[in-house]
Amino acid sequence: MKAASQNFGKECFRSAQVEGRKFNRVAFGGDKVEDMCQDLIRHGYNYLGKDFFTSGITGSNSCYSWTTRLMVVLVKFEVKSDCGSRDNIVSDDINFVGQRTQGHPYQTTHRGKVKGWWSSPGEMERDCLIGYGASMLLLERLMISSDQFEVDVCGECGLLGYSGWCHYCKSSCNVSSLRIPYACKLLFQELQSMNIVPRLKLKKYSE
């Protein structure tokens, strides 16, 4: 009974899900843990509400644990004005305007309706795109639509040049044009100011 009481929330959630009714999960009263566990057994589930996780590659049982609760909530809010009140869905108020305005000195996109609305993805959106392997979408949203900058890179020394000329090699024979984020260019220059010299190794796209 002690072990079952510790996992009271798991059985209550799964039992309410399969039964389609409300349960009282208060620790000092309400429905009993044993009754909920019997409901789970009657519907073919584990006594403690655990599930088998099967590997989609090998077909073997990977682990035996509880499932994660995923809840999707539709948020509504009410706007009151002089003309009356109305209900708005949050998803209807998401607006994107294809206007790319950059700020100084980092050339990142402004945010706000006054300066030209541009919704840039954050770290969680970036991790989601990386997890799905959407490399081209990641390139478009995080660099092309944000702070893309074209620099000249010397193929011999790997340092940044200027106007097709490498000041270190004193030559323009092996200088290539490269598009990188402007923040990356600032990072290279800040490292060089601290006597840390990053060098870029270039190769053809087909290689």
Domain ranges across the chain: 2-65, 76-144, 148-193
User: Measured between alpha carbons, how far is 46 from 169 in angstroms, rounded to an integer?
Assistant: 71
pTM of the model: 0.42
Q: Which two tokens stand for residue 21?
A: 């009714």
Q: What is the mean pLDDT of each run of 10 residues along the chain (207 residues)?
A: 44 69 68 77 76 72 55 41 44 45 56 50 71 73 79 89 87 88 88 90 77
User: Measured between alpha carbons, how far is 177 from 186 in angstroms, rounded to an integer?
Assistant: 17
Give the pLDDT of residue 96. 45
Give the pLDDT of residue 153. 92
Burial class (CB in 10 A: 0-12, 13-18, 19+), 166: buried
Q: Are 168 and 159 in contact (CB under 8 A)?
A: yes
